[in-house]
Amino acid sequence: MDAKERIEELRNSLNRHNHNYYVLNSPEISDKEFDMLLKELEQLEAAHPEFHDPLSPTQRVGSDLTKGFEHVVHDRPMMSLANTYSIEEVDEWAKRIDKSLEGEEYGIVGEMKFDGSSISLLYRHGRLVRAVTRGDGTQGDDVTANVKTIRSIPLQLLPGDWPVEFEIRGEILMPWEVFERLNAERAYNEEPLFANPRNAASGTLKMQDSREVAKRHLDARFYYLLSDNLPFDNHYENMLAAEHWGFKVSKAMTVLHGLKEIDEYIAYWDEHRKELPVATDGLVFKVNSLRQQLNLGYTAKSPRWAVAFKFNPERACTPLRFVSFETGRMGIVTPVANLEPVQLSGTIVKRASLHNDDIMQELDIHEGDSLYVEKAGEIIPQITGVDKSLRPAGARKIEFVKNCPECGTPLTRIYGEAAWCCPNKYGCPPQITGRIEHFCARRMMNIDGIGEETAELLYSAGLVSTISQLYDLTEDQLSGLDRIGPKTAQRIIKGIEDSKQVPFERVLYALSIPNVGETTAKRIARSVVSMERMQAMTLEELTAIPDVGPIIARNIYDFLREPVNEANIEALRRAGVQLEVSADKLAPSGDSLAGKSIVISGTFAHHSRDEYKEIIAAEGGKNVGSISKKTSFVLAGENMGPAKKEKCEQLGIPMVSEEEFLNMIGR
């Protein structure tokens, strides 16, 4: 046997053993035997580079750093599913299907709703070509290099009647066992813990080093096949075919007939899902026939032929160990219940926010209490009550602290709110480091490499106590710090330099002005044009900016007159940070909506609501929040509220669809 034949034989053998081990859970050889075959293949490939194949089993270990992620437009949009939260709602959906199909017989496929990161895989001639995340549903990130490291995903399909080209969709998952081990390692290294397996899987999938992705042992489940040449005319048989080709398909998938079988399926999996090795957050029901799916069609955001059922959150009662009080970036002090560890929806819960003093008072928490905890959306733990029958005799009520737990400053109550705040804005460590972290975040200045830990490290080292000091950092200073090597230092300095091109509206958002969020910052930037103009404005002028009321105006006015902030802004100006709106953004793109007041309502397919607000402003129109006689028309998307529809009809206000609106403005 020559080298080429042996290489092909080894590749086919290793692909088959991979499938047996990771998909069928029935290995035929030991790990050692597998490793010996893999080593032989590596040696042969090294000796014969002319036979290199990027999909060889030897390539699953991952490659060097990738240079970011390319955006790829989906051939077919990855839509979301409509959610239901009760058996009755699922039954209502099934009745609508029955009515739409006018009594025609149909089957419903029930399957698990896996809680991971959505993925679309493209195969040609039985080989993996591309892997793309869901993204915004229209386009996603090309993560092919990372997906190739996931051993339960076939790079080369097993023999079968697969189409020449097809797309298969599924979820990238982190099994509970891997998730718990990863969080244990992160806790040992004092790194932030992942909140849930979905976040861990999603974060892993976006890592720049695919060798690190390989170490995370991700898994996958697949649930939908798309092609112009599918082997069967129904969803169920197509997924069984995909399973034969080498894909991991849920064993829970089954065909159901009638409401009784659907209800029984929900009842069964509501209990037995806890036995699964991966996270789930519900079930999905799909009309089986592809012809019937086509006839039922889609709304603007989801298929009519499918619906998701979300499980109710699990609830547990566990003893309270103590309540801690933690100061955040804006100085707000949050009480946190530290609990005896309890398993909930597959994860160990040890902490849950109590939010504020009012909620603490309402719950009436005492020392030694046993608290009811559940997960909102099966992700965020929250305290929902106290079992007072288990309260120890003479237990003392837990009171909210009077002084900042970090700097000792007496707390003040925010007017009209439930929150207590530390007023020592420029001397309280977590407020300082929180502003640094916020400033560097992706949607603000996008300075890669500076998160919570690095911000605290820079502050404790005496290098950065105000955001403008970031622009004085050098590679040598960073390289001398713990956990920051030369490459990381270079990446941070490059990110700081690149941030000088971030537009003014994002700079404004990055400054941590109280109550000035992303949308408000955009509105303010377009109105004031420059920081210099904004600093000169009176309180009355600030209040006159659209969407800026008296409270936000006062926050801006006071912020800009604080000596620390004045010096900070001046230093940012000297560093070259963008503190005015660029000329191209100031110029309106048209005047097709000049003088018109427009209300936006519903959901849209082509642009987000915020994007439509910007388009309206760019075309000379004005976006208003409520319908009145002065309203020119309503831009009406899917799921527009019935109350707004009724008001439009009463006042004779036109309702313009998304397509009509885009035609109106020539887009």
Looking at the structure of the chain, the number of domains it has is 6
User: What percentage of the chain carries pLDDT values higher than 90?
Assistant: 51
pLDDT, tens digit (0-9, with 9 covering 90-100), for 345-372: 667 889 998 988 888 888 999 999 999 9
What CATH number corresponds to the domain at position 328?
2.40.50.140
Helical (H) or strand (E) element with 563: helix 563-575
> Are both 497 and 572 inside the same structural domain?
no
Amino acid at 360: M
What CATH number corresponds to the domain at position 520?
1.10.150.20
Residue 218 lies in a domain: yes
Residue 401 lies in a domain: no
Residue 76 lies in a domain: no
Burial annotation 561-573 (CB, 10 A radius, 16+ → b, else e) = eeeebeebbebbe
pLDDT at 588: 59
CB of 333 closer than 8 Å to CB of 346: no
> Are both 613 and 553 inside the same structural domain?
no
> Are both 572 and 643 inside the same structural domain?
no
> Are both 639 and 540 inside the same structural domain?
no
Mean pLDDT of 398-420: 89
> Are both 649 and 547 inside the same structural domain?
no
DSSP result, 152-176 = TS-SBPPSS---SEEEEEEEEE--H
Strand bridging mode 333-344 / 655-656: unpaired
- Indicate the residue among 484, 501, 518 that finishes a domain: 501
CB of 223 closer than 8 Å to CB of 250: yes
> Are both 618 and 646 inside the same structural domain?
yes
Burial annotation 475-495 (CB, 10 A radius, 16+ → b, else e) = eebbeebeebeeebbebbbeb
DSSP result, 210-268 = HHHHHHT--EEEEEEEE-SS-SSSBHHHHHHHHHHHT--B-TT-EEE-HHHHHHHHHHH
Name 121's bridge partners.
131, 168
pLDDT at 587: 59
Residue 111 lies in a domain: yes
Catalytic, out of 113, 286, 425, 644: 113
SS3 629: coil
| Residue 372 burial by Cβ neighbours in a 10 Å radius (0-12, 13-18, 19+) | middle
pLDDT band for 515, please (50, 70, 90 cuts).
Answer: confident
> Are both 225 and 263 inside the same structural domain?
yes
Non-local (6+) Cβ contacts of 68 within 8 A are 208
**Separation in Å, CA 562 to CA 432, 565, 650:** 15, 5, 50
pLDDT band for 377, please (50, 70, 90 cuts).
Answer: very low
| Structural domain harbouring 568 | 504-585
pLDDT at 65: 38
CB of 226 closer than 8 Å to CB of 74: no
Residue 564 lies in a domain: yes
Q: Which of 17-31, 135-149, 237-251, 475-489 has the highest mean pLDDT?
A: 237-251
pLDDT, tens digit (0-9, with 9 covering 90-100), for 43-68: 898 888 888 888 888 877 554 434 45
Out of 72-81, 189-198, 503-512, pick the least confident.
189-198
Distance CA 284, CA 80 (A): 12
| Residue 620 burial by Cβ neighbours in a 10 Å radius (0-12, 13-18, 19+) | middle
- Looking at the predicted structure, is the pLDDT value of residue 376 above 60? no
What CATH number corresponds to the domain at position 653?
3.40.50.10190
- Looking at the predicted structure, is the pLDDT value of residue 585 above 70? no
Strands (DSSP E) along 377-513, which ranges? 380-386, 412-413, 420-421
CB of 542 closer than 8 Å to CB of 536: no
Considering the entire predicted model, what is its pTM? Answer: 0.52
> Are both 279 and 190 inside the same structural domain?
yes
Residue 409 lies in a domain: no
- Between 17 and 152, name the one with better pLDDT: 152
DSSP result, 573-588 = HHHT---B--HHHHS-
Six-digit token pair at 241?
A: 């075919």
> Are both 347 and 481 inside the same structural domain?
no
User: Of 581, 455, 457, 442, nearest to 498 (Cα)?
Assistant: 442
> Are both 488 and 522 inside the same structural domain?
no
Mean pLDDT, all residues of the chain:
87
Would you call 113 a catalytic residue per the annotation?
A: yes
What CATH number corresponds to the domain at position 27?
1.10.287.610
- Indicate the residue among 287, 310, 333 that finishes a domain: 310
- DSSP code for 277: S
CB of 326 closer than 8 Å to CB of 334: yes
> Are both 494 and 512 inside the same structural domain?
no
Six-digit token pair at 207?
A: 């890592």
Residue 116 lies in a domain: yes
pLDDT, tens digit (0-9, with 9 covering 90-100), for 589-644: 677 888 899 999 877 777 777 678 878 888 888 888 788 888 999 999 876 777 78
> Are both 263 and 304 inside the same structural domain?
yes
CB of 519 closer than 8 Å to CB of 508: no
- Between 584 and 490, name the one with better pLDDT: 490
- Indicate the residue among 540, 559, 585 that finishes a domain: 585
**Separation in Å, CA 94 to CA 108, 262, 311, 514, 527:** 9, 9, 18, 48, 50
Residue 400 lies in a domain: no
pLDDT at 64: 42
